[in-house]
Every structure is written in C-alpha cells, then in structure tokens.
Chain A
Amino acid sequence: EPEVTQTPSHQVTQMGQEVILRCVPISNHLYFYWYRQILGQKVEFLVSFYNNEISEKSEIFDDQFSVERPDGSNFTLKIRSTKLEDSAMYFCASSEALDTGELFFGEGSRLTVL
C-alpha cells in the first residue's frame, strides 16, 4: 500500500537553529499538508499546498515557517529560527483530490527544541 514517508523521525535542535522536515507524499497525490501536534494536544493545521503554492495556512504558520516542493517527490517544511514552543510532532499528509475527504498521513517527525 502506498504511504507518506517522513524524515527524520526525530530531530533535536537548539533554540534559534533552522530545521527542515522532509516528506515524500504518495506519488499521484496533488494536495499536501503539514500539521503539528504538541504532546497531549490536538492535531493542528499548519498549511496546505497545491499546484506549487500555498492554498491555505493557519495563524500558527507565521514568517518563521515555509514550505517547498523542490522536486517532483519531496515536500518540505522549514522552520527558520526554532523556539522552545515549536517542540511537537509534525505530520505531513497528502490527498488525491480536494473532495475525497481522505488524507493520508505520515508517521510524523518529532522535533525537540532545547
């Protein structure tokens, strides 16, 4: 079964450092998403991406965040200058179409900011 893959599975970084989280969505999917989940809290929407541009973003997705699809397979989330409160699980998801309702999520990247 095709799946969304994410790397790294866990990253530890110092406050103020830049972090790039990588995702390989399912190959025929057109819509890509990043979510985050702080420990014990709900899954929070960050951003959606379609046709090489951001289609929606939340208030969490401020100037320190950016997304990119640098080639035909990868979808990355960059956090420019990490803060302690960025420590969370980051999930990438993809979907084939906008109205199917089915998002396929990766296993997540755990980010720990010290």
Chain B
Amino acid sequence: LAKTTQPISMDSYEGQEVNITCSHNNIATNDYITWYQQFPSQGPRFIIQGYKTKVTNEVASLFIPADRKSSTLSLPRVSLSDTAVYYCLVRYRDDKIIFGKGTRLHILP
C-alpha cells in the first residue's frame, strides 16, 4: 500500500479556494488517488478520484502531476460547511483500504 502524507490541519476563510496537497512518493503504476471527506460523527464520504492530470466534479477538482507522486484537492469558494477532515488514499484493487490521519480543515467566517 502506498503511504500518503498530508498536512495535519489547515485554516481558511469563507469564499476562498482551498488546496490540500497529498504526497504519495511510492505510488504504484495501477494505483488510483481517492479523496474522502468526513464530518464529525459521520462516516467518510467519497469526494473525487483520479489517475492522472485533472479531474473535476461538482464538488472539487483533483490535480495530479505527471509523476503522480503528489496530488492536490482543490475546493473552490469554501463555506463554513466545508469544515471537515479530508483523507487522501492511494489504492488499486485491494480490499484493505487504509485511511491515514487526514487533514483537518477549519473554515473561518
């Protein structure tokens, strides 16, 4: 399993764009990069997944450079309700899906 490293916490303000970067230096050729969001006392929720370049959905964008050794989750114009823990996972076809400590994002008014 590829190990991931993320900042422990980040603060931002409402209306700002937030970028959370995850390092995964030993990512394997077949690994996908997946991000989850977790609110207090709730289960994690899938946000976005990508393999390379850029992926965008209605919630976020995921930027993956050519070497795939890192990825950046971008949240456009955050609101207070985006305060949560964000997890970066790297995996392919394994059923032992391990969550790291994640990044605790705190949005300020």
Contacts and interface: CB of A to CB of B under 8 A. Distances in A.
A45 B99 contact: yes
B44 A103 contact: yes
Given A91-B43, A108-B41, A102 B92 contact: no
A101 interface: yes
Secondary structure dominating the interface of B: loop
Contacts, number: 63
Given A42-B101, A93-B43, A102-B49, A31 B38 contact: no
Interface of A: 4, 31, 33, 35, 42-45, 48, 50, 55-56, 58, 89, 91, 93, 98-108, 110
Given A101-B49, A103-B36, 6 more contacts: A4-B43, A42-B101, A44-B99, A104-B46, A106-B43, A107-B42
